[in-house]
Amino acid sequence: MNLCADISQCTLKRCAQRYLMLALICAIWPCAVVRANDPARLQTILRGHIKSIGTLTFSPDGATLATSSADGTVRLWRVRDGAGQVVLHVRAGRHTNPQVFWSPDGRRLATYSRRSFEDFGETQIWDADTGRLRATLEGHRGNVITVEWSPDSRMLLTTCDDGAARVWDAETGSLRATLAQNKLRQKLTNSPFKALFTTKNLDFSFTFGTFAADGRAVVTYSIEQPPKIWDATTGALQATLQMDVTAFEPKPVYDLLLSPDRRFIVRKTPDGVELLDAATGDTARALKGVGAALSFSPDGRVLLTYTTAPFTISLWDTTTGQKLWDVEHTPAGLGGFFWSPDGARIVAMGYGSNARLLDARTGRILTKLPYGGCTNDWLCGDNDCEPFVFSADGRVFLKQKQKVKLWRAADGTLLALLTEARGPGVFSPTDPRLLATRSSDKKSVLLWMIEPQ
């Protein structure tokens, strides 16, 4: 808005007074001044929840946004015009928000919700078009840790802290198979205070799992037992993985690194790493001279590794086994790595050092980001440990903090501070310009159009 288009008719003093008056009005009565070159423009406000929103999740085709709230509802919104389509009434409590998981075909949703910290919660399957409850999954004997759809949307995998993973029929909700990664346990209480007087509840039986690439096999792992591969349909044990090739027998692992397409599992060897077939456990490929593996590129063609003495981060071609380059001036203490969808940029989260933006095609550090070292502490909470997320075209990224800042991926410069937005922020999977955030009161959803200059 040009308040003084003709300088001959508007003195500089009067022009300054008008700008000052506009600034005072906006300070007293908050208003949004949209300039032509603003990279972020508020498009729509979605209202309906009466309590704080917890999660925002786009459908795979980007046409629908699912929001969950402590008010006990999951709402589905049509992104095109902001119309509310369906309201799902799920279990929720004062300090809990339902979790939402879209099926790959976008026809159904799975939700997991709890009324309180002592409640084990329930997992349900819903029809995305009608909001009809299709099934409630019965059989968990503890807290559900993860929920995952099979690639064909016909099965659902849940893992639990009772020692098992379970495969469910997504049409009927019937239990197909129980995969006993650990010895099955029945938790008597979910209260940490009551558990102090019940030794059975002090067992750490957390089980994690995922479907292999074709959906016909499931990989499970835990800190008690070595990783295992199961037939997803019959529940038959296919293989127990020897992740430490120097050991006499398979050992448990704290974490498992799989390629993004779930085709390969990374195993460390004395002279490098091996890529194991996630469906069979057989060695598919060996990479010599590679350090400890940390992360794959989105297409799985590049593996990011590190070595110590000195601490060095390197990028390797997983097809040829050749080193592409070392990251220049690598500081010790980098941990989490977040790739742009096109694999061109990496945001490296620091553990004790500032986050950095890396050029994955040259190994250069482009800039430091103003986020301190990640401190993950049970007593003090997570400080600066929130993940980074990129837009679908990889041009813009943000950190999942309460204050939403948009950064240009090309060079790491700040694009915009969305003062009226609160995290989390979620980019559309199909429209790289569309961003969804919470409002300042956390009860509404703001849809933004992002146009990086």
| pLDDT tens by residue, 136-173 | 998 887 888 899 999 999 999 999 888 889 999 999 99
Mean pLDDT of the chain: 84
Confidence of residue 5 (pLDDT cuts 50, 70, 90): very low
Q: Respond yes or no on whether the N-terminal peptide bond of residue 310 is cis (omega within 30° of 0).
A: yes
CB neighbours of 441 closer than 8 A, spacing ≥ 6? none
Q: How far apart are CA 144 and CA 164, in angstroms?
A: 10
* Comparison of pLDDT for 119 and 272, the residue scoring more: 272
CB-based contact 46:447 (threshold 8 Å)? yes
Helix (H) or strand (E) holding 415: strand 414-427
- Polymer length of the chain: 453
Q: What is the value of pTM for the model shown?
A: 0.84
* Comparison of pLDDT for 203 and 77, the residue scoring more: 77
Range with the largest mean pLDDT of 53-57, 138-142, 368-372: 53-57
CB-based contact 137:122 (threshold 8 Å)? yes
- Helices and strands, number each (H, E), in the chain: 2, 36
Average pLDDT over residues 67-80: 94
Q: How far apart are CA 100 and CA 424, in angstroms?
A: 14
Q: How far apart are CA 317 and CA 345, in angstroms?
A: 16
- Is 60 exceeded by the pLDDT of residue 34? no
- The confidence score (pLDDT) of residue 217 equals 97
Q: How far apart are CA 379 and CA 401, in angstroms?
A: 19
Given its phi and psi angles, is residue 138 left (phi above 0), alpha (psi -120 to 50 degrees) or beta? beta
The gap from C-alpha 18 to its chain's centroid, in whole angstroms, comes to 46
* Comparison of pLDDT for 195 and 394, the residue scoring more: 394
Q: How far apart are CA 229 and CA 250, in angstroms?
A: 13
- The confidence score (pLDDT) of residue 17 equals 47
**Greatest Cα pair distance in the chain:** 89
- The confidence score (pLDDT) of residue 191 equals 53
Backbone angles phi, psi at 114, to 5 degrees: -140, 145
CB neighbours of 407 closer than 8 A, spacing ≥ 6? 357, 369, 396, 397, 398, 413, 414, 415
* Closest listed residue to residue 272, CA positions, set 318, 219, 311: 318
- Is 50 exceeded by the pLDDT of residue 16? no
* Comparison of pLDDT for 341 and 143, the residue scoring more: 341
- The confidence score (pLDDT) of residue 376 equals 64
Q: How far apart are CA 92 and CA 114, in angstroms?
A: 5
- Is 70 exceeded by the pLDDT of residue 75? yes
SS3 21: helix
